[in-house]
Structure 1
Amino acid sequence: MATAKRKTPNKTGNFSKYIRWFWMAFAGVIAVIALIFLFASWGLLGEMPDYTVLENPKTNLATEIISSDGKTLGKYYFNDNRTPVDYSELPQHLVDALIATEDARFHKHAGIDAVGTMRAAFYLGKRGGASTISQQLAKNLFNKREGANIFQKLSQKIREWIIATRLERQYTKEEIIAMYFNIYDFGNNADGIRSASKIYFGKEPMELDIKESAMLVGMLKNSSLYNPRSHKNPVGTKNRRNVVLEQMYKYGYLDKSVKDSLKITELDLNYSPESHREGLATYFRAYLSDFMKEWIKENPKLDGTKYNLYNDGLKIYTTLDSRMQQYAEEAVREHMPKLQAEFDHQNNKSINPNKPFLDLSKDDVEKLLSQSMRRSERWRKMKYDLKKSDDEIIASFNQPTEMTIFSWQGEIDTIMKPIDSMRYYKSFLHPGMMAMEPQTGHVKAWVGGMDYFHFQYDHVKQSKRQVGSTFKPFVYAAAMDELHLSPCDSLPRTPITIEAGKFGNPEPWTTRNSDGKYDGFQTLKAALANSTNTITARLMDQIGPQLVVDMAKKLGVEQTIDPVPAIALGTPDLSVYEMVAAYATFANKGIYNKPVMVTRIEDKNGTVLYQVTPETKDVLSEEVAYVTVNLLEGVTQFGSGQRLRSTWAVNTPLYKEVITGYPYAFENPIAGKTGTTQNQSDGWFMGMVPNLVTGVWVGAEDRSVHFKGIAYGQGASMALPIWGLFMKKCYADENLEVSKDEFEKPSELSIRVNCNEVPSPTTFTDDEDDLNDIIDF
C-alpha cells in the first residue's frame, strides 16, 4: 500500500511572513510617529505657534532709559527686566562657553541632535540630556510648562522638536544664540544676558571676561540653584562655573593653563541691582515715569492701542549725562553727611528738648506730628486697606515695631515706635540739585534727594521752597532792562520804606540789612555780591513789583507770584527746576530755553515715535543779560561765594572736623548767587559757567527744622559746597568739556561793567528826591 509523502515545512515562506509583519509593524510605528508629529504640528497635542509668531516671538521687553553719553540709566518693567542684544554684541568666549556646555554639535544639526537623542535614550539620560540650544529656546519661548504625566511630557518634547526645527528654518544659528541669551531668566531681575551682565558684573555683555561668561553660562542649568547671590549654594555656583571652563577646554576653546588659572579665581561679582528705587538718577527716573505716562495717553499706536511702558521695549533717549549725574550724586553724598553731623551736634536734646523743631511749642510739635501721621502711607493702608479706626491707627503709631531706617552710615535695623521714626526722619536735611546746558536747555544732572528708597519726595521739580536772595538778580535784571543801569552805579545803603498803598502795599514796608550796616554807598555789583537788602528795595521802589513778576515769568517761573514789594528779598516759593532755567537765560545771552529732559523716544524696532521740539523765547537783550552775569560774577569775586576761590574753614572744632577739606580754589570765571531764607530754613546756591548752570537747595522737610545761626544755616555753607564738589569733579573729567572760559561779551556794549576803567562812579546824596531824579534818566 502506497504511503503519502509528508509535506516538509516551508521555512523560507514562514520567515518571509515574519519579515513582512516586521516591516508592516515598523511602517506602522513610523506612520504613528509621523501622525503624532503631524497632529502636534496641527496643534492637536497642544497650542503651537504659527509662522507669524515665529517671525516675531512675543516677549516682554523693559523700557530702557538712555543717557546722552549712551549709558543705561535705568529701566521700567513689571516682571521682565529684559533688553535684547544682537549677536554682534556678544563676546566670542560667551558663545563658545554656551556651545561647549549646552550643545557641542550646535552647528551640525538642524534643531534636533540625533546623536544626543540616541545617547540620552540608551543611557536613560544618565550621560547628559538631548536638548539642543534650539529646543531649549523653543521651550522658553512657547512651551514653558512642565508636563504632569508621561503623556504630557512626551507631547511637550514633541512640540519642542517641531518648534526647534521651525526656528532653525526661520533664523540663522547666530540669531538663535542671541535669542536664547536674551530670553533666559538669570534671577535677581536679570532677564536676558544684558541685564545679567549689568546686574552681576556692572558691565555690558561685550565687556565680560572669560570667567564671568562661564559663570553666566553655568547659570543656564538652573539659575535658582546656581545663583551667585544665593546663600543656599555658595560653593555650587563656583563649581558650576568651573564645569563650564572644563567643557571649554574639552572642546578646544581654552588652553589648559588658562583653564587652570581661571578655576582658582573667585567669582568677583560687582552686584548692581536694577530696581526702580536703586541705581543712578532715581528721582529723575520717577519724574520721567510720569512724563511717559502722559505721553502714552496722548500718543497711541497705529492700531489705536496704547503703548505699555513696562513691556513694550521702548527706548527713551534723555539729556542726562551719566558722568555728570554720578558726580552730582557723589557731591551730595560727600557733603550732606558732614552737614547733618553738624546739625545734629547743634540740635541735640540737651540743647533743644523739642528736637529737631525750633520756634515751636510742645503743643505745636504734637499738632505737626499728628498732621504728618494722617498724611503717611501707614495711615492710608491701615485706614483704607485694613479698615482700622482712627483710635486703632493712633495706638499703632505708639507701639514699638521692627523697622529698617535710613542713616548716612548705612541702613539700621532697629525697634522703634512709628511716631518716633517720624520725628527721626524730620531731623534730616535734604538736597535738591539740577544742572543744565544753557545753550540747549538740556538737563545734564538731576538729584531730587539723598536716598529714593527712604525719601521719595523730589526736591528738583516737585518741591517749592522760598528762594531768598537768589531772587534778587531778577530785580536787578528788570531794573537794568528798564533803567539802563550799570553795575558801577552806586546807591545809598540807608533804610528805605515803601509807604502803604504804593504798589498795592497794605502797610508800610521797611527793609533792613542783614549785617546791620547802613552807612555810605555801594555799587550795584557790590550790593548784589553782599545781598544788601536796602539797595535791592530801592530798585524795587523805582520799577515796581509787577515789572519784576513779569521778568520772572518770562524767565520761566511757573508759580503765581503776588506783585508786592517784599518779593525783592525772595519771598516766593519756587523750585530748583524753575530757578536753573531762569538763571540759564542770563548765561544764554537773554534767550530762555525750556528745560529738555527727553530728546526722542523709539519703539523696540528703532522707529522714532517722538522727537523733541525746543521751546525758546527772547527775554532780555544780550547786553542786559551779560551785565546781569557780570553782576553775579561779583558774588564769587568778593561776596558770599568768594570761598570758591580758596580752601575754606570755619574756626569751630566740630565744624572743622566734619565740613572742612573743600579745596575748591577755582580760578576761572564763575557767576553765582547764594540765598538764605528767614530763620535759615532754606539754603541756596546758583552757580554758572558759560556752558553749565547748576542750582542747589538744602533744607529740612519742615521749615521749623533749621540751624540756629547764620554761620551754618546760610546758603554758602549748606548748598555752595555741593556745587563746588560737583564742579571739581566735572573739571577733572576733561571729556565733559565744561567751560573755564570767560562769559562772551557782546560785540556792542554800551553799559559800563569795568568800574576801574573810569573814575569812581558818581555818589548820590541821601536826598530821596535827588536819587529818584538820577535813577529815572
Structure 2
Amino acid sequence: MKLNRKLTKVLKKVGGICLVLFGAACVFMGTVYFGLWGALPSKKELKELSQYRASEIYDVNNELIGKFYIQNRQPIPLDSIPEHVINAVIATEDARFYNHSGIDTRSMFRVVIKSILLQDKSAGGGSTLTQQLAKNLYKRKDFSIFTLPVAKCKEIFIAKRLETVYEKDQILELYLNSAPFSGNTHGIESAARKFFNKSTQNLSPAEAATLIGTLKATTYYNPYKHPGRSAERRNIVLGQMQKYEYITQEEFQKFKEDSLVTDFARYDEQSGLAPYFREKLRQRMLTWCKENTNLLKQPNLYTSGLKIYTTIDKKMQEFAEAATREHLQKLQQQFEGEYGNKKPWGQKTTLFKERLKTTQAYIKLKEKGLPEDQILDSLSIKRKMNISSFGKQKKVRYSTLDSLEFYLKSLATGTLVVNNTGAIKAWVGGVDFENYKYDHVQSKRQVGSTFKPIVYTAALENGISPCDYISAREVSYENLNNWTPSNSGKKDESYINYSVKEALTQSINTVSVKIIEQTGIPNVVQLSKKLNITTKLPEVPSLALGTAELSILEMAGAYTAFINGSRASAPHFLRKIENAQGKVLETFKEEEPNKEAFSETTRQQLLAMMQNVVNNGTAKRLRSVYGLKNELAGKTGTTQSNKDAWFVGITPNLVMVTWVGHDDHRIGFKSTRLGQGANAALPVFAKFIQKINAEKDFTTYTTAKFPNISDEVKSTLDCPPTKRDGFLKRLFTNPDKKKSKKFKGRKN
C-alpha cells in the first residue's frame, strides 16, 4: 500500500510538471500565434505570395549567360518539373506529404523518440515540406535562446495556413521554386542550370537525386566542390525512391552507377562568363529600370525576373576570354623576365612607395599615428593569403608589401568584337574581374599607329593616291621645336620613297606625318567625327602617329566603316527586354549608321591596303606564325616607350580591337620586340580566329570573303612598294644632315 501511495505521488508530481510544461508551451505558442514575437503572415498575404525572381541575361542565340539577383531564383511551373524530381523530393523530405495538413504528427513523435531520446541521427527531420516552405519564404529572426522555439512555432502556424490557402500541388511548386540548393541557388531550375547547365525538365533521375540530396546540407553535399559526398547522398535519395516504390530495384542499381559529371556554370557578378560586360549591362539596366516609370510597376533588376536579350555570342565570348588568358599568361612571364631585377614595380621604387600610401592597410596604420618605419615593419609581416592570377586562386605566404608588388606588376588588357553593324559579340575588359574591376574596353589610351588608317583615309579623300611616293627621310620641323619623327627599328632611309600603300603596310612614321601635313589636320579631325569618334582630338602633327587617347569602343565603331559601306556603326549590345511572363517591354533597334564617311573607292583602297598589312606588313605573323588562311585585314599600333600595344583585326563581317599595356602609364614594355602591337596584342586576335576556325557553327564568319574590288581600284594600287632617289639626288644629298622645314598642315 505504501509503495502504491509513493508511486501515486510521483505520478501526480510528474503529471503536474507535464501539465505545467504543457500549459507553458501553450502560453508560449499563444504568444507566437498572437504576434508577440512578430506578426504572422495573414491568409491574404499568403495568397499574394510573391517570390523574388532573378533577371536573366541571354546571348544572341538565346542561351543564358548570366543573372542579376538577390537570391538566385528562377521559378518554373510544376508541369515543367519531371515526375522523378517530384518523387525524389517527396521520398526524401516528406513521404506522407499528401496525407497531412501541414504538420505530420507521426514524424514529429518519431523525431522526439529517435533523434532526441535515442540519439539516432539517421531518424531524419520532422518538418514537412510545407513547414520547410514556410522556413524558405520567411527568414528566421534572432531571439537569442528563443530563436529556434519561436521559429519552429511560426513555421507550424504558417504551414497550417498555407495548407488552407493552396492545393498540395501548388505547395509543391512553391517549395521546389524556393528551396535553397547548393551554390547560393534558390529553386530547382536555378540549381539545374548552375550544376548541370540544363533546364529542370532535362534532368536525369540521377541528376535530380543529386540536387535533391543537397537540400540536407547545401555546402557539405555541393556536387561541384564535394563530388564524393554528393554521390553518396544521391544514392541515399535513390534508396528512398526505391523504398517508396517510385523506382524499381533494377533502376536503383542503374542510377547508382551513373557517374556524377557536373557542367558548372557561374552566374555570380565576380566570376563566370563576361563579367566586365555584365557590369556594363547592369549599369545600363539600372538606368533603364528608373526610366520606365510609365509601366504599371517599376521593374527591379534584382527581383523582377526580367529577361534581357543581348547581342553577345556566348561561344565567341568564351573564345575571346580564352585567347586573352592564354596569351597574357605567356606575355606576363616575358614582361617580368625582361626587367629581371630592375623591375619598376619593386618595393624600393618610387612608384611602389607612392602606391603603397594609397592602400587601406597603410592609411589605417598612419591614422593610428605610427611612424613610417613601424608601418613598414607591420606591413612586412608574412601570413597565409590567397592571390589571384588570371582568375585562378593560389595560396601563398605573403606580406602586404609582397601582395602589392604582385598585383602592381600585372599587365592589363581589353578586347571588343563587333560585327559590321556594331553589334557587340564579345567584351573582355580584363583578365581578373574579382581583383581588377577597371574596364579597359571603356578606358582611353593612346592608340598609336591604329589611327593611321583614318589619316590615310582622309588623305585619299583629299586627292592623295595609294601609288603616290613620299620620301621616308627624317625632317625636323622648325615651328614644332624641331620635332623630328623617326621610324621605329629602321635607319634613316634618306633615299627611299614609299608608296602611300606601302607606307601604311610598314607603318612608316615619317611618311605618315608628311601625309597628314598634305591632307591637313582639320580634314582628319572632320573625318574622325564622321566615324563616331566623339573624343576631342589633339590637333597636332603627332596625331598622325596616334597620340590621341581613345577607347576600344570608339576604335571598333570607327573601323566598322571599312566593312559597312563606309558607314561607321555605333557599338551596341541590347536586343530586347521582356518581363517575367515573356511580355516584350522594349525592343532595341540598331541605330541608323552615319552617312557615308568616305567614298566607296576610298573604302576599297583602304581595305586592300590593310589586307596588305596582314599579307606583307607589320601583321604578317598572322600568316607566318599562326597559319591563318582566312581573308583578313588589320593594323598594328605601338605607342612611345612601348606603353600601349594595339591590334585591330578585320574579317569580312567582324572587327576585333585589342589593347595591352599597364594601368600605370609610367610602366611600359622594356623592349619594342616584346611590346610592339604585333607581339603584345595581335596574338589575341590570332588565337581567337584559330578557335572560331575550329567551330563548324562559325563558318559564315570563317569562310567569308571580302567583296571583289573594281578593276579601276585595282589599277590605283598596282605599283612598286618603294622607289629610290635618282643617282644625282643621292649624290647631292647628305644623309647625315637633318632636313629642316616648317610644318604647314594645320589649316585647310
TM-score for the superposition, normalised by structure 1: 0.79
1:473 maps to amino acid:
P
Residue 646 of structure 2: SS of its match in structure 1?
strand
- Please state if 1:635 is matched with 2:613: yes
Moved more, 295-304 or 554-563: 295-304
Q: 1:655 corresponds to which residue?
A: none
**Structure-1 separation of matches of 2:219 and 2:632:** 54
Task: For 2:460 and 2:438, locate their aligned partners in 1 and report how far apart those are by CA, in whole Å.
Answer: 38
| Change in CA separation of 1:123 and 1:223 when aligned onto 2, cut-off 3 Å | closer
Decide whether the 8 Å contact of 1:57 with 1:141 is kept in 2: no
1:403 to 379, 385, 391: 385
Contact 1:67 / 1:321 at 8 angstroms: preserved in 2? yes
Question: Which residues of 2 match residues 481-500 of structure 1 at below 5 A?
Answer: 481-483=461-463, 485-500=464-479
Alpha carbons 2:102, 2:156 under 8 Å: kept: no
Partner SS state of residue 557, structure 2: helix
Deviations 1:136-195 (A, max 9, x none): 434433586798687985564243123123111xxx82x543432220111431222233
Aligned residue number for residue 734 of structure 1? 696
Cα deviation, residue 487, structure 1: 2.7
- On the 8 A contact 1:691/1:739 being kept in 2, the answer is no
Provide closer, same or farther for how the CA distance between residues 759 and 370 of structure 1 changes in structure 2, counting only shifts above 3 A.
closer
CA distance 1:688–1:178, change in 2 (3 Å): farther
The equivalent of 1:714 in structure 2 is 676
Alignment-derived partner of residue 427 in structure 2: 446
Q: Say if 1:488 and 1:753, in contact at 8 Å, map to a contact too.
A: no
1:96 to 84, 87, 104: 87
**Which region of structure 1 is more displaced relative to structure 2, 513-522 or 259-268?**
259-268
CA distances 1:436-464 after superposition (whole Å, capped 9, x unpaired): 0122x1111111111112222221113x2
Question: Equivalences for 1:291-306 in 2 at 5 Å?
Answer: 291-300=284-293, 302=295
Task: State the match for 1:554 in structure 2.
Answer: 530
- 2:11 maps to which residue? none
CA contact (8 A) 2:471 2:495 kept: yes
For residues 519-538 of structure 1, what are the structure 2 equivalents within 5 Å?
519-538=495-514
**Higher deviation after alignment, 159-168 or 507-516:** 507-516
SS in 2 for 1:593: coil
1:345 CA displacement: 2.2
What is the SS of the residue equivalent to 1:738? helix
Tell me whether 1:668 sits opposite 2:630 in the alignment: yes
Secondary structure of the residue aligned to 1:325 is helix
Match of 1:415 among 389, 397, 412: 397
Q: Deviations over 1:580-622 (max 9, x none)?
A: 1111122211112111122223333334344324332122333
The match for 2:303 among 291, 299, 311 is: 311
- CA positional deviation for 1:689: 0.5
Structure 1 counterpart of 2:25: none
CA distance in 2 between counterparts of 1:428 and 1:319 reads 31
Which of the numbers 596, 601, 617 marks the counterpart of 1:623? Answer: 601
Q: Which residue of 2 aligns with 1:26?
A: none
Amino acid at match of 1:511: P
Matched, 1:370 2:370: no
Contact 1:587-1:626 within 8 A present in 2 as well: no
Q: Distance in 1 between matches of 2:567 and 2:352?
A: 45
Q: Cα 1:453–1:123, aligned 2, differ >3 Å: closer, same or farther? A: closer
- Cα offset, 1:329, TM superposition: 1.0
Letter in 2 for 1:292: M
Q: For residues 292 and 387 of structure 1, what CA distance do their matches in structure 2 show?
A: 42
Looking at structure 1, the residues matched to 375 and 64 of structure 2 have their Cα atoms a distance apart, in angstroms, of: 42
Structure 1 CA distance for aligned equivalents of residues 328 and 110 of structure 2: 68
Amino acid at match of 1:632: M
Pair 723,143 (structure 1): closer, same or farther in 2 beyond 3 Å:
closer
Which residue does 2:555 correspond to in 1?
579
Secondary structure of the 2:75 match is coil
1:66 to 58, 63, 73: 58
CA separation of 1:200 and 1:548: change in aligned 2, threshold 3 A: same
1:87 equivalenced with 2:117 (yes/no): no
Query: Where does residue 12 of structure 2 map in the other structure?
Result: none
- Whole-angstrom distance in 1 between the partners of 2:84 and 2:125: 23
- Counterparts of 1:156 and 1:703 in 2: how far apart (Å)? 60
Residue identity matched to 1:513: N
User: Contact (CA 8 Å) 2:416, 2:658: kept in 1 or not?
Assistant: yes
> Within 1, Cα distance between the matches of 2:425 and 2:687?
16
Quote the Cα distance in structure 2 between the aligned partners of 1:725 and 1:489.
Answer: 36
Q: 2:210: which partner in 1?
A: 215
Deviates more, 1:635-644 or 1:694-703: 694-703
Q: Who is 1:661 aligned against?
A: none
Change (3 A) 1:512 1:152: closer
Residues 576 and 585, structure 2, Cα contact 8 Å, conserved in 1: yes
The Cα offsets for residues 306-355 of structure 1, whole Å up to 9 and x where unpaired, read as 64433333332222111011101111122122222222222211xx2x44
Do 1:627 and 1:753's aligned partners in 2 also have CA atoms closer than 8 Å?
Answer: no
The 3 A distance-change label for structure 1 pair 257 and 199 is: same
Aligned amino acid, residue 461 of structure 1: Q
Q: Secondary structure at the match of 1:742?
A: coil
Tell me the equivalent position of 1:474.
454
Partner of 1:25 in structure 2? none
Give the number of the structure whose alpha-carbon radius of gyration is greater. 1
The 3 A distance-change label for structure 1 pair 124 and 415 is closer
Asked if structure 1 preserves the Cα contact closer than 8 Å seen for 2:495 and 2:724, the reply is: no
**Change over 3 Å in CA distance of 1:151–1:438 after alignment to 2:** closer
Return the letter of the residue paired with 2:568: Y
Aligned residue among 133, 136, 141 for 1:137: 133
Structure 1 match to 2:650:
688
Task: Give unpaired runs (5+ residues) of structure 2.
Answer: 1-28, 115-122, 734-738, 744-748
**Residue in 1 aligned with 2:20?**
none
Q: Does 1:248 align with 2:249?
A: no
- 1:55 & 1:196 partners in 2: Cα distance? 26
CA drift of 1:481 comes to 1.7
Query: What is aligned with 1:348?
Result: 340
Does the CA contact (< 8 Å) of 2:498 and 2:723 recur in 1?
no
Taking structure 1 as reference, are residues 243 and 684 closer, same or farther at Cα in structure 2, changes over 3 Å only? same
Match of 1:332 among 324, 342, 351: 324
Aligned to 2:72, the other structure's residue is in SS state coil
- Using the TM superposition, give the Cα deviation of residue 696 of structure 1 relative to its aligned residue in structure 2, in angstroms: 1.0
Counterpart Cα distance in 2 of 1:614 and 1:669: 27
Deviation per residue, 1:56-97 (Å, 9 max, x gap): 42323333222222233222334x122223335434432332
CA displacement at 1:113 relative to structure 2: 7.5
Choose which of 452, 475, 485 in structure 2 pairs with 1:511.
485
Deviation at 1:680, TM superposition (A): 1.7
Moved more, 578-587 or 139-148: 139-148
Q: Which moved more, 1:689-698 or 1:208-217?
A: 208-217
- Residue 590 of structure 2 aligns with which residue? 614
* TM-score normalised to structure 2 length: 0.81
Tell me the distance in 2 between the aligned counterparts of 1:76 and 1:315: 10
Q: AA paired with 1:140?
A: N
Q: Is the CA contact (8 Å cut-off) linking 1:486 and 1:751 kept in structure 2?
A: no
User: What is the root-mean-square deviation of aligned Cα atoms in Å?
Assistant: 3.9
Partners of 1:69 and 1:41 in 2: how far apart? Answer: 51
Q: Distance in 1 between matches of 2:165 and 2:309?
A: 36
Q: After alignment, is 698-707 or 718-727 more displaced? A: 698-707
Task: Tell me by how many angstroms 1:215 deviates.
Answer: 1.9
Q: What is the deviation of 1:123?
A: 8.9
CA distance in 2 between counterparts of 1:550 and 1:58 reads 55
Find the aligned partners of 2:703 and 2:540 in 1 and give their Cα distance.
39
Question: Do 1:112 and 1:135's aligned partners in 2 also have CA atoms closer than 8 Å?
Answer: no
State the secondary structure of the residue aligned to 2:180. coil
Q: Per the alignment, do residues 262 and 567 of structure 1 end up closer, same or farther by CA in structure 2, a change over 3 Å counting?
A: same
Deviation readout 1:598-656 (Å, 9 max, x if unpaired): 2223333334344324332122333322322111111011001111113x3xxxxxxxx
- Structure 1: runs of 5 or more not aligned: 1-36, 501-505, 649-663, 773-777
1:517-537: per-residue Cα shift (whole Å, max 9, x none)? 343332222111100112211
- Per-residue CA deviations over 1:253-280 (Å, capped at 9, x if unaligned) read 3332331243356644455554321111
CA distance in 1, matches of 2:75, 2:549: 45
